[in-house]
Structure 1
């Protein structure tokens, strides 16, 4: 547990709720140490009832006492949120942003006396299986980096990168769930075409991808080695892989990551 740390969150949307759920359920911080501000009173009431956190419209009451400020607003609302919170924020508090496209330089300009960390989480954060990458600003030293990793890792995994890598992170893990869902759709359709009930095919496809991912994360072998281990010469898997390679699936996935990375860079320059 991050002993004694007080966390304030600006924005109460899906990503903010995923972080709150991860922090509470993993006991990184107690609910009483989490304060949330959202512009909708009903949303605040729902978060307070669901997780036991403090939630309210307006952050004025908690900004002077929190140790970590998490910016979790939509990009269009980021400038206003920073302007409204900067003057009241406790001296030396860490600013952790999960706002897409908001650069460290922009955040540091709004909070010149604060350490800043920029993070890119993905949507599986909502089920405790998120993948977050984060980059540190010039004033965010190792202890602050460790705090950010504990917070982001409460709902999955977190890795430290350079800010210049965050477009690639977006192209791979940020957009990656959509690629996985598309592959899952195709596997399910293939199972149905082969005679399975759709419910059965869905369970088989989802658990198969989950299990494969777990093996990559826990095994010392590479994905290529794991693939080879289940591919008998002239067997069923080899027959399926030949079709996948002929169809250019590997190349399409590589190009998808590169295209999403390029698009992320374009959006960040706007």
Structure 2
């Protein structure tokens, strides 16, 4: 089957799961002008949840099946423990011409790919200011992720690198210090180094042991460090260094954190950018 580009001026965004996270992202997208609410759909049986979306002009359909059929980009915003069952149930409708996005914490890309039956998946960890369009989101792309112009993104090598012990921490408040960031990680093992790039709203923590780093991601993702809820995922392995500014091989500079399936932007929610922008810097 030929994978056609997603037209950025006409695609429809669908949310599987109409909870607070989906509502925040949808509001941020429509209010910022990234995507009109008339091109956003979801489904929910609860009258109050339906009303919350309908009040901002979003169409609420009768079932998740209808949402998938109506959408070019499908965002799975259900609780992590429900993701597998939901994706498997919808699998017959998750054709390769659709771009799939997961905002569930702790779910690996390889599992999302397996459940969906293809690799056109993006994993996004938005932080709390998404509703006002000021979020910085870490984006991990599977090997089959395609942009609107058909470009194939590189796979998430950092996640699959068994030697990588560097963790990306997104959603940090501006007042947090290196020591503030270090403390929560000490319970998981020896911390090799901590770096907080100035003005980026994120940090990088390198542990000495891979297993300890995995446990830290599982244990601290979605918790409060400093004043804000943080989102954790793999940073770049120290062996993968780029020219220019870098920390542990995880490049940083400007608004993007490029390479090996990673990207982060401030002042806009990257999940709600036109599909091409969602993989900018990762191809």
Question: Judging changes above 3 Å, is the alpha-carbon distance between structure 1 residues 19 and 73 closer, same or farther for their aligned structure 2 residues?
Answer: same
Post-superposition offset of 1:265: 3.1
In the alignment, is the contact (CA less than 8 A) between 2:14 and 2:70 conserved in 1? Answer: no
More helix per residue: 1 or 2? Answer: 1
Residue from 45, 53, 59 that aligns with 2:64: 59
Aligned residue number for residue 69 of structure 1: 74
Q: Give the structure 1 partner of residue 24 of structure 2.
A: 18
TM-score normalised per structure 1: 0.58
Question: How many Å separate the matches in 2 of 1:94 and 1:259?
Answer: 38
CA contact (8 A) 1:115 1:137 kept: yes
Give the whole-Å Cα distance in 2 for the aligned partners of 1:47 and 1:106: 30
Over alpha carbons, which structure has the higher Rg? 1
Residue pairs, 1:1-270, within 5 angstroms: 2-49=8-55, 51-143=56-148, 164=159, 168-169=167-168, 172-174=169-171, 176-177=172-173, 250-256=178-184, 262=213, 263-267=215-219
Q: Is the 8 A contact 2:103 2:124 kept in 1?
A: yes
Say if 1:93 and 1:114, in contact at 8 Å, map to a contact too. Answer: no
Greater per-residue strand proportion: 2
* Superposed CA offset, 1:57-86 (max 9, x none): 522223123111101111121122112222
How many residues of Structure 1 are paired with residues of Structure 2 in the alignment? 184
Aligned to 1:231: none
Sort the Cα spacing of 1:166 and 1:27 in 2 relative to 1 into closer, same or farther, 3 A.
farther
Q: Deviations over 1:172-221 (max 9, x none)?
A: 224x35x95xx6xxxxxxxxxxxxxxxxxxxxxxxxxxxxxxxxxxxxxx
Question: Structure 1 regions of 5+ residues with no counterpart?
Answer: 149-159, 184-248
Contact between 1:11 and 1:73, CA under 8 Å: does it hold in 2? Answer: yes
Q: Distance in 2 between matches of 1:56 and 1:22?
A: 20
Q: CA separation in 1, counterparts of 2:108 and 2:149?
A: 18
Higher relative contact order structure (alpha carbons within 8 Å, sequence separation ≥ 6): 2
Shift of 1:37: 2.1
Q: Give deviations 1:92-111, integer Å, cap 9, x for gaps.
A: 20111110011111110111
Deviation beyond 4 Å, 4+ runs, structure 1? 160-163, 257-261
Q: TM-score, normalised by structure 2?
A: 0.55
Consecutive unaligned residues in structure 2, runs of 5 or more: 1-6, 189-204, 206-212, 222-283
Report the Cα distance in structure 2 between the residues aligned to 1:114 and 1:3, rounded to whole angstroms: 24
Indicate how the Cα distance of structure 1 residues 144 and 26 shifts in structure 2: closer, same or farther if over 3 A, else same: farther
Distance 2:77 2:216 in 1: 18
